[in-house]
A and B are shown apart, each in its own frame.
Chain A
């Protein structure tokens, strides 16, 4: 029986393009409103903290750029153009990749897209809906970093009001260009190379990483002149000139902003510069619109087909044999596996197979290692090297704390969701907590110690200072792991299945704040005594306070170490003790 309705009638039941757009816009608005509303009502503390930290960050970045522009303003105007071009071209490259990756997740791997594909929506409408989401996620960093920078530049240059009025249109129009390019790239790769998708992405990613490292090294690292000298600046700036290509949207943005910020003596000349800026803005908007149109075409012709091809792919089979390392960890030295060791191996396997976890671990620690390695390019005084060494210790702690908060803290809640399995196993609940702690502590300690040794060696610090830093690093790893595991057990969230959402909840925020406070305490305690001791040994005169002489002595350093070790033990075992107590009485 053919019950096909006449084409006109069937068409009348379908939404027009503008109606689809209005519908998805309304959906996003409603979701955003409900999200803000529920966050303000349910997580005021978190909301306030995020807002406060964002404001502090914005003001700090503004002050930093303001001072930098005051310094640079005295130099040739060419420098500004080079810096803007470098900044925006680097951002453009990063946004192409970040949007591409976000679009892949949003279009092809999300439950929402699966749902929308079964609805009578155009492929272009689904693409546009997911694109706005990806655009927001990939560009908020640019807005947060770019807005204080450009406002500071405008103030320093005494730019006309039109510069400030044009900032937002310039930034919004610009982000569309790399974002649409990333989106188009993503859809073409999925549609054209379904079988080679992973390899294509891997090759692109690795190539981009190597290119970025090579560019950074060839620009900043391999200069002939001594670092941070005028000659070094000259040489570096001449190498940055490669970013000034007239066909790059980053050049249009830089040129437009520089023209908009010009305030000439005569009104006519200022108006002429503003007009030039408007032409660049028009150029960026026109290209953004053309690329959006192209992305829409690509979505129309490839999205559903690409989705279907991906759905039909066979997931790769995992190897059955246990790796020798797993076997060694689980059974080495015993006949039967110890429950804690078996849980550890299970977490290790999950970590290995969760690309989000290990890739972030590799990227963050890899970038830190790269930065630490490049510290040798610079020439420091002892006092400077000591200060940087302590700051690097804080950075390692902060990076590790993001991992403990993002991945270790939610692991107790996620384990709780499987409580009916774990609860039936012949293991004590305490062992789950200890296994989580050992996994975090053991997994974080080796890379963190390695980074500290690398940093201190490149800075040429004394062995005594290196040993102090290593002791602090052990205390930090123990304390941060203890806080994440203990708080995770004290404040679990069994309703939520997403680790990111668990980490972003109240418990996760408290854990992050406690971790940050602990890091600050450790670094300030050891940093102050070690630094003062270094200055004193170097024969420098300390400010005339008896307390400074006291803590700057050898006894002060030893006392700080005792304090660090004690606080490390306290930060490790107190949260775990509280966590175990809460976990024992848990009824999921």
Chain B
């Protein structure tokens, strides 16, 4: 469903993402981890069509993001780290606009909107202007918009920022349900616990390259650390000394 083929992106002389070869099949939740500046945002931007690869190809459901941009976008849902809403639209009006954009048939539009409003508990503020929303409300509305057209691929960039625990639970359950139904989810996050709990597979990106690709248990097998928490594994692979290593007797 998502294919990166030798995808490279340069910022001037700096290579932000280098020769990325990655396929995320249908029904998989993939988590992309990595330190700041590793190339995660660039990867996401290439995946949603905001950045074109300097070399290589990015495909969504077989559609090339450059030559078949609209077809690729029609299969995609995107929740950015900083959600954009029209301040002078109500939540309801925004969802209607999204429904129109993804050409949801008129007789189904209200059904889809009601479904998402109920799912993300937007009833209380769906008719208020978005300028009055809190960060959490905005994030929930963006999730509702991303799920409105039942996308085949969902791209999430730090998705849980601003959400309260109840909303986090709703999103987690929904992601599990949708991936079981065949949706592909590509998630960039710094929340290791979230990745550990949710991801079928994860990739750890450092300086534009994937240094590890596999499941958490594969990571545990491959990386040699005393305490095999994901945090320690992650810190080991990204070469930052962990608290265990710093405090271990043989280090002293």
Q: Which residues of A contact B (CB under 8 A)?
A: 1-5, 10-11, 13-15, 19, 23, 26-27, 30-31, 34-35, 38, 111-112, 114-115, 117-122, 304-305, 307-308, 311-314
Contact B11 A31 (CB under 8 A): no
Contact A118 B73 (CB under 8 A): yes
Contact A4 B62 (CB under 8 A): yes
Contact B50 A314 (CB under 8 A): no
Q: How far is the CB of B71 from chain A (nearest CB, A)?
A: 4
Point out the residue from A26, A31, A119, A307 that lies within 8 Å of B73, measured CB to CB: A119
Q: How far is the CB of B17 from chain A (nearest CB, A)?
A: 11
- Beyond A5-B61, A111-B84, is A304–B101 a contact (Cβ under 8 Å)? no
A30 to B45, CA, bound (A): 30
- Beyond A10-B63, A10-B71, A117-B49, is A23–B101 a contact (Cβ under 8 Å)? yes
Inter-chain contacts of A2 with B (CB < 8 A): 62
Point out the residue from A5, A10, A304 that lies within 8 Å of B49, measured CB to CB: A304
Q: How far is the CB of B112 from chain A (nearest CB, A)?
A: 14
A26 to B50, CA, bound (A): 25
- Selected interface stretch from B86-94, B168-176, B195-203, B239-247: B86-94
A120 to B12, CA, bound (A): 29
Contact B51 A308 (CB under 8 A): yes
- Beyond A1-B1, A3-B26, is A15–B101 a contact (Cβ under 8 Å)? yes
Contact B102 A13 (CB under 8 A): yes
Inter-chain contacts of B136 with A (CB < 8 A): none
A112 to B51, CA, bound (A): 16
Point out the residue from B51, B61, B86 that lies within 8 Å of A4, measured CB to CB: B61
Point out the residue from A15, A27, A120, A308 that lies within 8 Å of B97, measured CB to CB: A27
- Residue pairs across A and B with Cβ atoms less than 8 A apart, 13 shown, are A5-B61, A15-B100, A15-B103, A30-B89, A38-B129, A111-B84, A112-B84, A118-B73, A120-B73, A120-B101, A304-B49, A308-B50, A312-B54
Point out the residue from A3, A27, A122 that lies within 8 Å of B61, measured CB to CB: A3
Inter-chain contacts of B9 with A (CB < 8 A): 312
- Beyond A3-B62, A311-B51, is A14–B84 a contact (Cβ under 8 Å)? no
A20 to B175, CA, bound (A): 30
A13 to B54, CA, bound (A): 29
Closest chain B residue to A23, Cβ basis? B100
Inter-chain contacts of A34 with B (CB < 8 A): 88-90, 93, 129
Kindly identify, within residues 34 to 58 of chain B, every residue whose CB is under 8 Å from any CB belonging to chain A: 45, 48-52, 54
Q: Which residues of B contact A (CB under 8 A)?
A: 1, 9-12, 14, 25-26, 45, 48-52, 54, 61-63, 68-71, 73-74, 76, 78, 80, 82, 84, 86, 88-90, 93, 97, 100-103, 129, 152
Q: How far is the CB of B83 from chain A (nearest CB, A)?
A: 9
Q: How far is the CB of A517 from chain B (nearest CB, A)?
A: 31
Inter-chain contacts of B26 with A (CB < 8 A): 1, 3
Inter-chain contacts of B90 with A (CB < 8 A): 34
Inter-chain contacts of A15 with B (CB < 8 A): 100-101, 103
Point out the residue from B25, B84, B102 that lies within 8 Å of A114, measured CB to CB: B84
Inter-chain contacts of A30 with B (CB < 8 A): 88-89, 93, 97
Inter-chain contacts of A35 with B (CB < 8 A): 88
A26 to B9, CA, bound (A): 37
Inter-chain contacts of B68 with A (CB < 8 A): 10
A112 to B88, CA, bound (A): 13
A27 to B9, CA, bound (A): 34
A200 to B153, CA, bound (A): 40
Q: How far is the CB of B81 from chain A (nearest CB, A)?
A: 12
Inter-chain contacts of A307 with B (CB < 8 A): 50
Closest chain A residue to B23, Cβ basis? A1
A331 to B165, CA, bound (A): 48
A118 to B73, CA, bound (A): 7
Q: How far is the CB of A310 from chain B (nearest CB, A)?
A: 10
Q: How far is the CB of B59 from chain A (nearest CB, A)?
A: 8
Contact A14 B45 (CB under 8 A): no
Contact B1 A305 (CB under 8 A): no
Contact A118 B70 (CB under 8 A): no
Ranked nearest first, the 5 interchain pairs of A and B with the lowest CB-CB distance are A4-B62, A120-B73, A115-B84, A120-B74, A308-B52
Closest chain A residue to B104, Cβ basis? A13
- Beyond A1-B25, A14-B74, A118-B76, is A312–B101 a contact (Cβ under 8 Å)? no
Q: How far is the CB of B101 from chain A (nearest CB, A)?
A: 5
Inter-chain contacts of B152 with A (CB < 8 A): 3
Give me 4 other A-B pairs in contact (C-beta within 8 A), A5-B62, A119-B101 excluded.
A15-B101, A23-B97, A34-B90, A311-B51
Closest chain B residue to A305, Cβ basis? B52
Inter-chain contacts of A27 with B (CB < 8 A): 86, 89, 97
Inter-chain contacts of B76 with A (CB < 8 A): 118
A115 to B97, CA, bound (A): 13
Inter-chain contacts of A305 with B (CB < 8 A): 52
Closest chain B residue to A16, Cβ basis? B103
Which of B14, B73, B74, B89 lies at the interface centre, i.e. has the most chain A CB atoms within 10 A of its CB? B74
Q: How far is the CB of B13 from chain A (nearest CB, A)?
A: 9
Inter-chain contacts of B70 with A (CB < 8 A): 14, 120-122
Contact B14 A314 (CB under 8 A): yes
Inter-chain contacts of B14 with A (CB < 8 A): 314
Which of A13, A117, A119 lies at the interface centre, i.e. has the most chain B CB atoms within 10 A of its CB? A119
Q: How far is the CB of A420 from chain B (nearest CB, A)?
A: 15
A578 to B109, CA, bound (A): 53
Inter-chain contacts of A311 with B (CB < 8 A): 45, 50-51
Contact A31 B50 (CB under 8 A): no
Contact A312 B10 (CB under 8 A): yes
Inter-chain contacts of A312 with B (CB < 8 A): 9-12, 51, 54
A119 to B88, CA, bound (A): 20
A119 to B70, CA, bound (A): 7
A111 to B80, CA, bound (A): 11
